Amino acid sequence: MKIALVQQNYHIGNFEYNTQKIISGIVRAREGGADLAVFSELCICGYPPRDFLEFEDFINRCYQSIDEIRSHTAGIAVIVGSPARNPIREGKDLFNAGWFLHEKEVKAVVHKTCLPTYDVFDENRYFEPAYNWKLIPFKGKRIALTICEDIWNLGNNPMYRVCPMDQLLPQQPDLMINISASPFDYDHEEDRRAVVRENVLKYKIPMFYCNAVGSQTEIVFDGGSVAYDAEANLIHRMKVFEEDFFIVDTEKKYPAIPSSVPTATEFTYKADQPYLPHSSFGEQNHPPSTIHLPPSPDPEQIIPYLTRTDNISEIYEAILLGIRDYFSKMGFSRAILGSSGGIDSAVVLALACRALGRDNVRAVAMPSGYSSSHSVADAVQLSKNLGNPFDIIPIQPVYESFLSTLKPFFKDLPFSLAEENIQSRSRGNLLMSLANKFGYILLNTSNKSELATGYGTLYGDMAGGLSVLGDVYKMQVYALAGYINREKEIIPANILQKAPSAELRPDQKDSDSLPEYDLLDKILYLYIEKRKGPKEIVAMGMDEALVSRILKLVNSNEYKRNQFCPIIRVSCKAFGVGRRMPIVGKYLS
């Protein structure tokens, strides 16, 4: 059997676009001699559709798209992902389903069993888990079709009571096909391939895995679809961060591709990542898993890990895809941002110019009386290097006007945070005014370290339509700058070398308010990504008072992050929809 893996970028709720894209993939697969074309999870409507699933019209349009697609399945079978109605009164009204179409008919509908409801996933909110499990007969083969999380139920601490493949195995499947919408993060890609391989090792049959690609608001899907033979050899890996197409012949012997994924007996998952294999070996009395959680990370290895070249290169590509898709899918084309001469705005500007084209990105320097001369000069040089439009708008007259208006109310109270934030909000107001006048989208330049600790001004430097670096720690921002400069100097050396500063008061430095970033980022990573408590972090050698102070900053500034714009997600625990904390909570604050 020849199977085409069709890795495509869909648009949530854009049924005409998605349908035509799928049909074009079917045509290509048929012309290539494929017997079966496989597409990704919920490709009909795009993933994640969220509360669109509550609209009957939305579901009707999914069914209409399937009707149109099945009319193109003469001489070729097709697997697509779409919601399916649940005819049983009890339970949710929908299934997350894989539809098997052939000869213009719906031959089978397979329902997803393991419904992830953690981090960015909300599937139990909308879908009912499968009631039964059946193979799909086709071309003399018995296909075990599963959907994304269905293959992640491995390990010693299972999240789900039923493992679909364990239910299907007694029916003697010949091959496994998994359709997925598995998001990117810099911890995840190697684990994903390892999980696919573990399934092959366990069930002794080949696996063909088709993943989504593209960005949907904050979530980036990186593709990387794979095929493994029955001996668990990787025989093909598709491109990451772009669409791809490949036809694999199940009767052909392919040379194994070298893989960094460890063998089953060596394989260890990264600690404390809730979406990693929570799986059981079902109720079939299989031997215990060889998967074990490693000890807590060595704090001294955190920064080298966060900033290692392969992580940074993937983050770079994920952010580019996130910017491009956000703009193209929203119908936007031009961006604006404040260019301060600092590292964060420099990296955002370089990324935006690469993603959208330099002529479509406008940078604005807005010096105040506290801005250093080199900040403006550095910002100007950066835009000269990039070749993007650039303006300078001094904010001192605006700032003084605010002070004059407020003087009767401020009286003679000393200079404080209020005056600092007036400057930041003046800049935000100017940028939003230009955005409104000329149709720009304002790109926010805050990094994850700042957002975590509340080091930012609501309605000022926290304004924006999209956060580019909100899931990137400060040390990673520096590493991204180095990656951007890997071939030639784009970001001026002075921007990389000077001490970070908001420049809202005389001689201000970030280190006046925060610990040095290499120390701060370690503690933040342990708390946010690894969910370590204060005692655990202190036991790793961190200063107790410092840990208490930082964790208090994180938790007491939830109200700021709750008003923040969408953040391009690149880690396993980003601020936004995947991290849900109470604003008025007292824990550690």
The residues that are catalytic are 41, 112, 148
Whole-angstrom Cα distance, residue 442 to residue 362?
10
Burial class (CB in 10 A: 0-12, 13-18, 19+), 243: middle
Residue 392 in contact with residue 376, Cβ under 8 Å?
Answer: yes
Sequence-separated (6 or more) residues with CB below 8 Å from residue 66: 44, 80, 82, 99, 101, 106
Which residues have C-beta within 8 Å of that of residue 49, sequence separation ≥ 6?
12, 13, 42, 58, 83
DSSP 8-class letter at 103: T
Burial 375-411 (b: 16+ CB within 10 A, else e): bbebbbbbbebbebebeebebeebbeebeeeeeeeee
Element housing 146 (H / E): strand 141-147
Give every CB contact of residue 294 below 8 A, 6+ residues apart in sequence: 268, 269, 270, 271
Q: Within 13 Å and on the Cβ side, how many CA atoms surround 161?
A: 3
Eight-state DSSP code of residue 387: T
Two structure tokens written together for 236: 């093909």
Please give the backbone phi and psi of residue 327, each rounded to the nearest 5 degrees, phi first. -70, -50
Q: How far apart are CA 154 and CA 276, in angstroms?
A: 9
Joined together, the tokens standing for residue 71 give 């009319």
Q: Rounded to a whole number, what is the distance in angstroms from the first to the last CA of the chain?
A: 59
CA-derived radius of gyration, the chain? 26
Residues 115/123, Cβ–Cβ less than 8 Å? yes
Query: Tokens 């993007």 — which residue?
Result: 388
Q: Which two tokens stand for residue 206?
A: 């080949």
How many Cβ atoms are within 10 Å of 305's Cβ, its own excluded? Answer: 14
Measured between alpha carbons, how far is 270 from 279 in angstroms, rounded to an integer? 15
